[in-house]
Structure 1
Amino acid sequence: MWPRRHARFDRFVLRMESEECGHARRRLIENGTDRHVKTVAYVLNEFPVLSETFIGNEIRAMAKRGHRIVPIVLHRPRTAGQPDDRLLANEAVYLDAVPGHLVAAGALTGLPFGRRRLLAAAGFLRAQTSLDRRQLFGDAMKIAAIAARHRCSHVHAHFADAATSAAIVAARWMGRKVSFVCHGREIYTSPQDLALKLESADFVVSVSADLTRDLINVTPLPLIATIPYATDPTYFHTRYDVEDNGRLLFIGGHLNVHKGLDDLICALELLAPRRLMLDVVGDGPYRPYLEQLSDIKAPGMVRFLGSRPMEWIKQHGPDYLGLVGPFKVAADGSRDTGPIVVKEAMAMGLPVVASRFMGLKETVTDETGFMYEPGDIEQLAAAIRRLVDLPTAQRRAMGEAGRQRVIAHFTLDAQAEALSDLIETM
């Protein structure tokens, strides 16, 4: 029990005993497979973020498996997230709303675990160089207080940034297991004490095989499990009963250079006599340049729709001829390590044209789409031409093969099962 003077803290803590989680637990009991599932603190730097749907998807899938999830967020979002994620955000604990005196309460959680645990936390705190130690310690103690209040037995973070640092210090201080998901930018563009974080975790999740290889090259010490981004195929539907709208679709979320939209626009220029039409879903500071480029290279062929919620993609995505995913490495090294949008398109029954890039090589096959070497605009144009020239029946067969591949290999249920098994065996 918390002391009475901490009663106002209840306004800030998460109550994740949702109906979905409760139903999942009851189903486990009814099916004769009742088992203890851990309560997991999810430590996030910012949430929700419109283009980071994979975090909310993972939380909901883990809750469906019966886990009680306690999202703890360091910073409030700068923009609105997806509607489903905003519902989760209403239940999250934001550290700026947590009373400062809980730093002391968090510090008390380490006392039962003795000097060894405290030295592990203090050792990380001293060794890391990317964050102010006082701020990191304060955030970690708040996380420890929240996690202790909810009896969390595992601490899990996304992105190897400040959230992971705080999660490691909090977990070690409390004597809990800790893990995090590495998404790529932490190694390719802005590494922050990455080797230290890898070696301090009980296990690390990588979202693609190539990323796993590169992380092992940093340090082979932790268990690094490859668990690709996944989607829920039951959320999407196909539309084979009507003719497609004849347009190509690009979904970029945040329009960064590594999304490859500039290559796609240049490929449309090579295909100009065909007058292929492209709709672009996404936004960001790079958009004005891309609009200018499309006016020069492919005038009248590109329509920028801005950001769209997942409900819009679900409703209108199946209308398109196919999706193009021209991902590549940007000059600064940034990249998408496992673009989930390709799996979502496949779940909608769309054939895809995609670069032979990390996270895509293990997703797209000859039966589900056409691939090309990243950055090769002529190959990209040729792949688009091959897709467009397919008879309607063959395009639909390719789209259906893609949907079946997602069902077989890339479902959220399978992703959550793999992560849950790792957490439960720690």
Structure 2
Amino acid sequence: MKTIAYVLTAFPVLSETFIGNEMRAMQAHGHRIVPFVFDLRDGPAQPRDDEIAAHAVPVARIPAWQGLRMLPLAWRALTFLWRQQRLSRRSLLWNGLKLAGAIRAAGCSHVHAHFAGGGAAHGVVAARIAGRPVSFTCHGHDVYAEPEDLEVKLAAADRVVAVCADLESDLRAMNSRAALVRIPCGTDPERFQPRDEDAGDNGRFLFIGRFVGSKGLDDLFEALGFLEGKHRIRLDIVGDGPLRAQIGDAAERINRQAFHHIRLLGSRDAAWLASHGPAYRAVCLPFKATADGNRETGPLVVKEAMAMGLPVISTAFMGVKEMVTPQTGILVPPADPVALAQAIGRMDAMPAERRRAMGAAGRLRLLRHFTLGAQAGALSAMVEAA
């Protein structure tokens, strides 16, 4: 099996669990993984990601001589260097040379990056200089909100991974010749398990995600307003982010009305979710696109909820449409608080047996289509064929 160089802009990042998950799954599939990281962080992270980070190679610490010895092969990357406009050509070339030398020294035979930003650009340059195939995975903001020379990268890569059908279609519209592969991010059904069959739920709904506009918390708060006097909703919110102050103020206003009850639990890692998540009545995840185009394309939290046997309330948006069916949850149009309120009320009033059946159907669908093992198998096949 090929040794894979992962070129990452930042790692570990608490909210980007899918990157560490993928690397561990590829290791389990038989690949050796060598992460090269520009911003190797020591802040809050998933404990399992810390283990990978301990063996990652900081790009800044790659010896200069490894780059200098690759200088005669720099011509291989000149076409991409010239066509891309986002990054300094001098910096991109120098980092690419160092990476190419380190990639060869580590015995890597494939280069992969996550997000179509700086990591992908450096991955392309390094791979071309080193004479290795290169791929990268597109997610959301890197395509819709902050695209960086995306058409140039689509043309340069040997493979480009899209995590859902809508994303694949949009990328194909940008470059019909791009070598696109659709591989949804998966989750580990052994780690995320349902609660015991004879245990009831805790009567609370769960939201989990970063505090950014694309998660739809503003719509969720507005939906709760439509439910006042009808359904008394208890909601736990797990996460943090740029909109922390606004979300805190909104939750406080709702709590002052003394009808619904919201708890802000702060950031929690995947271990917390696996331990506490199965007890909830349902998850509520009203994704949408923001004014700048930012959006979720294949949110992993939906699949984690399905693995835990939780019914899903979400929006018929991007990859969520591929995950959630009428048998496993309730989908509403994005940015529609009225429809969202109706879905929450319907779920709250639903007999417990029906909710449990819905959750069981969700886990079965997860096992059939969205496991981490299936993701690793598809990605491994792509890497081996490149």
Scaled to the shorter chain, the TM-score interval is over 0.9
Counterpart-to-counterpart distance in 2, 1:201 and 1:46:
21
Counterpart-to-counterpart distance in 2, 1:317 and 1:365:
21
1:164 partner amino acid: A
Counterpart-to-counterpart distance in 2, 1:241 and 1:346:
18
Counterpart-to-counterpart distance in 1, 2:52 and 2:181:
26
Q: Match of 1:198?
A: 154
Q: Match of 1:20?
A: none
Counterpart-to-counterpart distance in 1, 2:140 and 2:71:
32
Tell me how far 1:61 sits from its aligned partner: 0.6
| 1:155/1:171 contact within 8 Å kept | yes
1:123 equivalent among 58, 65, 79:
79
Counterpart-to-counterpart distance in 2, 1:100 and 1:81:
30
Is structure 2 residue 253 aligned with structure 1 residue 296?
yes
Q: Match of 1:328?
A: 288
Alignment of 1:308-387 (within 5 A): 308-387=268-347
Tell me how far 1:425 sits from its aligned partner: 1.0
Counterpart-to-counterpart distance in 1, 2:329 and 2:117:
35
Counterpart-to-counterpart distance in 2, 1:272 and 1:91:
52
1:320 partner amino acid: Y
Q: Match of 1:70?
A: 34
Is structure 2 residue 46 aligned with structure 1 residue 82?
yes
* Greater RCO, CA 8 A, separation 6+: 2
Tell me how far 1:78 sits from its aligned partner: 6.7
Counterpart-to-counterpart distance in 1, 2:28 and 2:264:
36
- Aligned residue for 1:124, secondary structure, equals helix
| 1:212/1:226 contact within 8 Å kept | yes
- Aligned residue for 2:64, secondary structure, equals coil
- Aligned residue for 1:210, secondary structure, equals helix
Q: Match of 1:186?
A: 142
- Aligned residue for 2:136, secondary structure, equals strand
2:18 equivalent among 29, 33, 54:
54
Tell me how far 1:187 sits from its aligned partner: 1.9
Tell me how far 1:297 sits from its aligned partner: 4.0
Unaligned runs of 5+ in 2: none
2:288 partner amino acid: K
Q: Match of 1:151?
A: 107
Q: Match of 1:139?
A: 95
Counterpart-to-counterpart distance in 2, 1:128 and 1:223:
19
| 1:269/1:298 contact within 8 Å kept | no
Counterpart-to-counterpart distance in 1, 2:219 and 2:21:
30
Tell me how far 1:354 sits from its aligned partner: 0.7
Counterpart-to-counterpart distance in 2, 1:50 and 1:188:
22
Counterpart-to-counterpart distance in 2, 1:353 and 1:107:
54
Aligned length: 381
> What are the Cα deviations for residues 20-77 of structure 1, in whole angstroms up to 9, with x where unaligned?
xxxxxxxxxxxxxxxxx11110100000100000000100111111011110011122
- Aligned residue for 2:104, secondary structure, equals helix
Unaligned runs of 5+ in 1: 1-36, 111-117
CA RMSD of aligned residues (A): 1.3
- Aligned residue for 1:40, secondary structure, equals strand
1:181 partner amino acid: T
Q: Percent identity?
A: 49
1:352 partner amino acid: V
2:269 partner amino acid: P
Counterpart-to-counterpart distance in 2, 1:373 and 1:78:
39
The normalised TM-score by structure 1 is: 0.87
Is structure 2 residue 236 aligned with structure 1 residue 279?
yes
| 1:266/1:298 contact within 8 Å kept | no
Alignment of 1:106-117 (within 5 A): 106-107=70-71, 110=73
- Aligned residue for 1:362, secondary structure, equals helix
Tell me how far 1:191 sits from its aligned partner: 1.1
1:309 partner amino acid: D
Tell me how far 1:229 sits from its aligned partner: 1.4
Counterpart-to-counterpart distance in 2, 1:78 and 1:129:
31
Counterpart-to-counterpart distance in 2, 1:348 and 1:105:
51
Tell me how far 1:374 sits from its aligned partner: 0.3
Tell me how far 1:175 sits from its aligned partner: 1.2
1:43 equivalent among 1, 4, 7:
7
Q: Match of 1:27?
A: none
Q: Match of 1:231?
A: 187
Tell me how far 1:133 sits from its aligned partner: 1.2
